Amino acid sequence: MLTLEGIDAFYGDLQALHGVSLDVREGEIVALVGANAAGKTTTLRVISGTLPAGAGRVTFNGENLSRVPAHERVGRGIVQVPEGRRLFPFMTVRENLLLGAHPPAARAEQAQSLDRVLDLFPILSERTTQLAGSLSGGEQQMCAIGRALMTKPRLLMLDEPTLGIAPVLVQKIFETVAAINRAGVTILLVEQNVRRALALAHRACVLENGRLVLAGAARDLAVDDRLKKAYLGL
């Protein structure tokens, strides 16, 4: 489905990614883990097209995306939920959700998609007329994921979906990610809780200082001594 080959990325003169190559297969959950500033968010930005690759190639379903702008990648089915959620605080929950249904294919099924999102997040169905800025952090994250689902993604990229969320809602977020995947959406997950991410994912990739240093089945990486020492405190 998605392949990155030899990706370099820069912020000005600062090189953030060094020859990163990885793949995400259809139907998988792939966790992308590493310390702060390892290059995880930068990788998502290169895939979504909001940051151009300095070198290398991003391929999605056999198509080279080098000349495909970010908004057209959304139309191809590549959708990112950014860290910090980025809702419109003075718009209602319903208005925020409907903003996701902007690609033509998504607009055609807007009503059905909204019903599915509200079924997935029942608490949002009770708050459709509430301003998004008045929601709790966990509810805002649900709204941000719901907005992305309104776009009818084929690949959903989640950047730190449990960051700053009350522990009681963290489990709900992980359960929801699993449910979205079971419904047929491929997921690339950046998550600070490495233990939980590896328990959820099929495969995982570890970034360190902008380089891919480990990759493999999540269950194998969970017992890898290098990863356990660096990220699991074991």
Evaluate if residue 13 carries a pLDDT over 50: yes
- Return the ∠ at Cα 43 (arms to 27 and 191), rounded to 5°: 65
In the predicted model, what is the mean pLDDT of residues 134-138? 91
Per-residue buried b or exposed e for 151-175, using 16+ beta carbons within 10 Å of the residue's own CB = bbbbbbbbbbbbbebeeebbebbbe
Evaluate if residue 183 carries a pLDDT over 90: yes
Whether 137 is in a domain gets the answer: no
Q: What is the 3-state secondary structure (H, E, C) of 118-148?
A: HHHCHHHHCCCCCEHHHCCHHHHHHHHHHHH
Token pair in block for residue 172: 């709900």
pLDDT at 102: 77
Mean confidence (pLDDT) of the chain: 92
In the predicted model, what is the mean pLDDT of residues 183-208? 94
Coil, helix or strand at residue 227: helix
Evaluate if residue 141 carries a pLDDT over 60: yes
Q: Are 32 and 43 in contact (CB under 8 A)?
A: yes
Evaluate if residue 234 carries a pLDDT over 60: no
Please list the residues that pair with 214 across neighbouring strands.
206
Evaluate if residue 21 carries a pLDDT over 90: yes
pLDDT at 199: 94
Query: What is the percent of the chain where pLDDT is above 90?
Result: 76
Evaluate if residue 174 carries a pLDDT over 70: yes
Whether 141 is in a domain gets the answer: no
Evaluate if residue 47 carries a pLDDT over 70: yes
DSSP H helical ranges for the chain: 40-48, 70-76, 93-99, 104-108, 110-120, 122-125, 137-150, 167-182, 194-200, 218-221, 225-231
If one counts the domains in the chain, the total is 1
Whether 189 is in a domain gets the answer: yes
Token pair in block for residue 224: 């890898």
112: phi then psi, degrees, rounded to nearest 5: -65, -40
At 67-122, the pLDDT tens digits run 999 999 999 999 999 987 789 999 999 999 999 887 777 777 788 889 999 999 99
Whether 43 is in a domain gets the answer: yes
Residue 44 belongs to domain spanning: 2-90+153-231
* CATH number, domain with residue 205: 3.40.50.300
Whether 105 is in a domain gets the answer: no
Non-local (6+) Cβ contacts of 57 within 8 A are 3, 4, 5, 6, 7, 64, 66
